[in-house]
Amino acid sequence: MFKLRNQELIILIVTVVIFAGFSVFLDKFFSTGNLLTLMRSVSILGILSIAMAVVVISKGIDLSLIATLAVGTALASVLSSGDVLPSIDLPFIYAVILGFIFTAILCAMTGILVAYWDMASVFVTLAMAGVIYGLGRTLFIRDELNYLPEDAAWLEYLGRGQLFGVPMPIICFLMLAIIMHLLLTKTTFGKFVYSIGDSGLAARTAGVPVRPILVMIFILAGTVAYFAGLLTAGAISSINTRMVAGSMIYDVLLVVVVGGIGLSGGKGGMHNVILGTLLIGTLLNGMVIMDISFIVQNLIKGIILLLAIMTDTLLNPRDEQTTQQGDI
């Protein structure tokens, strides 16, 4: 089904080796309970990586994903809590829809700036992260920590429930990966995404509506991130907007790059995201079991990201064709 490129083969081997090593040397690592915990703890990261992957395949990057996730979800919970709209007793499900509209509009703005102003996505999304967070916090969200209202039980089921013994976030992650896989491989939209990633200029010459597609890509990524935010909130019945200032966006990049989606665009798919998520999940889980200190954990993650980017550069060298302004 998938043709593995060299890079993917390397990562697959690395994952299998680490996984086997942990299974042999770490007590209780290879147990159904721990493997489900492992997958569960990275499934939100995996969903965010799905969002990032789509953007990276189109040769962009979206650094505003965490801001979208946190502000959109916090907005939904604030709207239904009665703090912002005290006169209306807004059911949570409507608040979720309003949160979606808010994120969609802002993501469309990002897309328009990238597509129609020809600005580099790395700068646009870096700035938009600040705009999204600032707008949300000034206009609506007074507190950093926002609790879900009581009628959000369905979301709590999605965030912490189980189906046939499998935690719901894992199911959501896999379902979303399948849907995105079909979207990328079976639809015209998907083919356009890859062609834009390969070469925007060639795609435009061939008649691909590059600009509208780019806007759609950013809205799609933002929507997936918003869904990841809802799941996060469901898992702990609250959402903390402070996560915007955290390092999660780098973990997302780590999954995408380590998974083997080339930063030069046009390559990779959902199997890379799943592979990357599994590798990072295995590592994180193993490091917690070994009780490795936080600083050393960050060091290990940093080294792995560097190694992955080095491999990426070795296997997909830059040349005049693939380099463009704003390229990361």
Q: Which residues bind other proteins (CB under 8 A)?
A: 27-28, 31, 33-34, 37-38, 40-41, 44, 137, 141-145, 147, 160, 232, 235-238, 240-243, 245-246, 284-285, 288-289, 291, 293-295
Nearer to other proteins, 233 or 256 (CB): 233
The distance of closest approach from Cβ of residue 60 to other proteins in the complex, given in angstroms and rounded to an integer, is 26
Place of tokens 């965030």: 159
The distance of closest approach from Cβ of residue 20 to other proteins in the complex, given in angstroms and rounded to an integer, is 19
The distance of closest approach from Cβ of residue 162 to other proteins in the complex, given in angstroms and rounded to an integer, is 9
Quickly count: other Cβ atoms within 10 Å of residue 79's Cβ. 24
Task: Give CA–CA dist 261/68, Å, rounded.
Answer: 22
309 vs 157, 261, 301, CA distance in Å? 38, 10, 12
Phi, psi of 160 (to 5 degrees): -135, 5
The distance of closest approach from Cβ of residue 248 to other proteins in the complex, given in angstroms and rounded to an integer, is 9
Nearer to other proteins, 1 or 295 (CB): 295
Nearer to other proteins, 118 or 150 (CB): 150
Nearer to other proteins, 26 or 315 (CB): 26
Burial 250-282 (b: 16+ CB within 10 A, else e): ebbbbbbbbbbbbbbbbbbbbbbbbbbbbbbbb
Task: Give CA–CA dist 72/133, Å, rounded.
Answer: 9
Task: Give CA–CA dist 8/16, Å, rounded.
Answer: 12
Task: Give CA–CA dist 125/295, Å, rounded.
Answer: 28
Nearer to other proteins, 7 or 34 (CB): 34
Nearer to other proteins, 56 or 66 (CB): 66
The distance of closest approach from Cβ of residue 95 to other proteins in the complex, given in angstroms and rounded to an integer, is 19
Task: Give CA–CA dist 269/50, Å, rounded.
Answer: 9
The distance of closest approach from Cβ of residue 239 to other proteins in the complex, given in angstroms and rounded to an integer, is 9
Q: Which of 225, 223, 71, 64 is nearest to 144 (CA)?
A: 71
Task: Give CA–CA dist 107/130, Å, rounded.
Answer: 13
HSE on the CB side for 226, CA within 13 Å? 26
Nearer to other proteins, 289 or 304 (CB): 289
The distance of closest approach from Cβ of residue 253 to other proteins in the complex, given in angstroms and rounded to an integer, is 18
**Pairing between β-strand 166-167 and β-strand 145-147 as defined by DSSP bridges:** unpaired
* Residue 151, C-beta contacts closer than 8 angstroms, at least 6 positions apart: 80, 91, 92, 93
Q: Tokens in use for 282?
A: 């295995």
Nearer to other proteins, 156 or 327 (CB): 156
The distance of closest approach from Cβ of residue 146 to other proteins in the complex, given in angstroms and rounded to an integer, is 10
Nearer to other proteins, 68 or 311 (CB): 68
User: H-helix or E-strand containing 240?
Assistant: strand 238-240
The distance of closest approach from Cβ of residue 159 to other proteins in the complex, given in angstroms and rounded to an integer, is 9
